[in-house]
Amino acid sequence: MKGVCYICNKTFSKAGITKHLKTHLKDDGYIRLYHIRIAGFYDPQYWLHIEIPADAKLKDLDKFLRDIWLECCDHLSAFVINDVYYVSIPEGEKDMNFKLGSVLNIGMEFYHLYDFGSQTKLRLKIMGERNGTLKEKVRILARNNPPKITCSCGEKAKWICTQCFYDSEENCYLCERCAKEHKCEEEMLLPVVNSPRMGVCGYAGGIYD
């Protein structure tokens, strides 16, 4: 799945974007910044590249992931780093008050889990670091283009029927017109969104969409 570099607005493949971003990310300040690649564990066509200070905490990264891709009804979440769990509301596990720089290094791969019931799992990797400046708490460097999802009639899909999705029926994606005539209850419909949590629980899109 192709995506857009948010710095120069050009389109790149998932493989090409990492190399391309390196041409932008030079040392130009004094804040230690991590470049992180994030992708759906089971849906890698959803991906992001971000920059975040190494001094930020796991809970700051958790907040960002919830805002852009995950939050539906305040479920528990966790990072899994070297098999250690860092949980949003811990019960004996570690919490998320650790600085990224104290638990992560360049090249490390780790995971994020949202909702231990209908779980969405993400794969993250520290691609690099630099000394730079950052205006926002998290800077989006690049993001995948929304997948082109069509209704069986050929129109652009606006809704996903979660009932048909769970039953693995072929036509779970519906355009506005076909949604009106669909056999399942209207409450089963969720919007088609650019996120690996599309169609899960009550997920209706992020604050960046």
Window 186 to 205, contacts with Zn ion (CB under 5 A): 201-202
Minimum gap (Å) between residue 163 Cβ and Zn ion: 4
Closest CA to 59 of 114, 94, 97: 97
- Please say which residue, 45 or 163, places its beta carbon nearer to Zn ion: 163
- Taking CB under 5 A as the rule, does residue 164 contact Zn ion? yes
Question: Alpha-carbon distance 17 to 6, whole Å?
Answer: 11
Sequential DSSP letters for 117-128: SS-EEEEEEEEE
**Region binding Zn ion by CB under 5 A among candidate stretches 26-34, 79-87, 104-112, 155-163:** 155-163
Place of tokens 């975040």: 52
- Taking CB under 5 A as the rule, does residue 7 contact Zn ion? yes
Interface residue with Zn ion among 52, 58, 178, 190 (CB under 5 A) is: 178
- Please say which residue, 97 or 147, places its beta carbon nearer to Zn ion: 147
Give, for 164, the enclosing helix (H) or strand (E).
helix 162-166
Minimum gap (Å) between residue 191 Cβ and Zn ion: 14
The answer to whether 144 touches 45, Cβ cutoff 8 Å, is: yes
- Please say which residue, 72 or 81, places its beta carbon nearer to Zn ion: 72
Instruction: Give the count of residues interacting with Zn ion (CB under 5 A).
Output: 16
Question: Alpha-carbon distance 113 to 125, whole Å?
Answer: 15
R_g of the chain, CA atoms, integer Å = 18
Q: CB-based burial of residue 52 (10 Å sphere; 0-12 exposed, 13-18 middle, 19+ buried)?
A: buried
Question: Residue 179: helix, strand or coil by DSSP?
Answer: helix
Minimum gap (Å) between residue 9 Cβ and Zn ion: 7
Interface residue with Zn ion among 32, 99, 163, 191 (CB under 5 A) is: 163
- Please say which residue, 37 or 57, places its beta carbon nearer to Zn ion: 37
Minimum gap (Å) between residue 96 Cβ and Zn ion: 19
* Residues at the contact surface with Zn ion, assessed by CB under 5 A: 5, 7-8, 72-73, 151, 153, 155, 161, 163-164, 175, 178, 184, 201-202
